[in-house]
Amino acid sequence: MIIVEFEPAHAAAFRSLNEAWIEKYFVLEAKDREVLNHPEGQIIAKGGQIFMALKDGTPVGCAALMRMSDGGFEVAKMTVAETQRGSGLGRRLMQRCIDAGAEAGATRLYLETSSHLAPALALYRAMGFRDLPPADTPYARADVFMERPY
């Protein structure tokens, strides 16, 4: 399994991997559609990055870093295919985000998630994220806010 930087050919897989987990637990929201339908314009063109995990050339996971105005990056649209859950791939994707943030001189990584996603919360806390007070968000599902300072 390898983690590579996003290429235009990955756009459909980035969208479908994220739609799968969002629709399993929640509802696809307007902000999701905006980002998933235009990842290059909404993430990469604005100074962010997307990482794709490939197993035998097939996308099985992804994570995005969205540049924030405060010098940080938001970790977003991170998921691992059901067949790869428990394999350590989520940890590898998050570590790639942490490394990329450091390389870019980020002041912090930030994320919004849901209290219903216990395995994800455990991973984030294990990787140095700490809870923040509630914040304004475009996502109805987001009720946990976290950051990892550098």
Q: What is the pLDDT of residues 95-116, one digit of tens each?
A: 999 999 999 999 999 999 999 9
The CATH number of residue 75's host domain is 3.40.630.30
Task: Tell me the percentage of the chain whose pLDDT exceeds 90.
Answer: 99
Alpha-helical runs (H) found in the chain: 11-25, 30-37, 39, 89-103, 118-126
Q: With bands split at pLDDT 50, 70 and 90, how would you rate the model's confidence at 2?
A: very high
pTM of the model: 0.96
How distant, in Å, are the alpha carbons of 32, 56, 57, 58, 95 from that of 75?
14, 25, 24, 22, 11
Strand pairing partners for 53?
A: 3, 61
Note down the domain range covering 84. 2-149
Which pLDDT belongs to residue 12?
98
Q: What is the mean pLDDT of the chain?
A: 97
Q: Given this model, what pLDDT does residue 112 score?
A: 98
Angle between helices 11-25 and 30-37 (to 10 degrees): 160
Mean pLDDT for the stretch of residues 45-52:
98
Q: Provide the domain count of the chain.
A: 1
Mean pLDDT across the stretch 35-56? Answer: 98
pLDDT at 73: 98
Q: Read off the pLDDT band of 138 (50, 70, 90).
A: very high
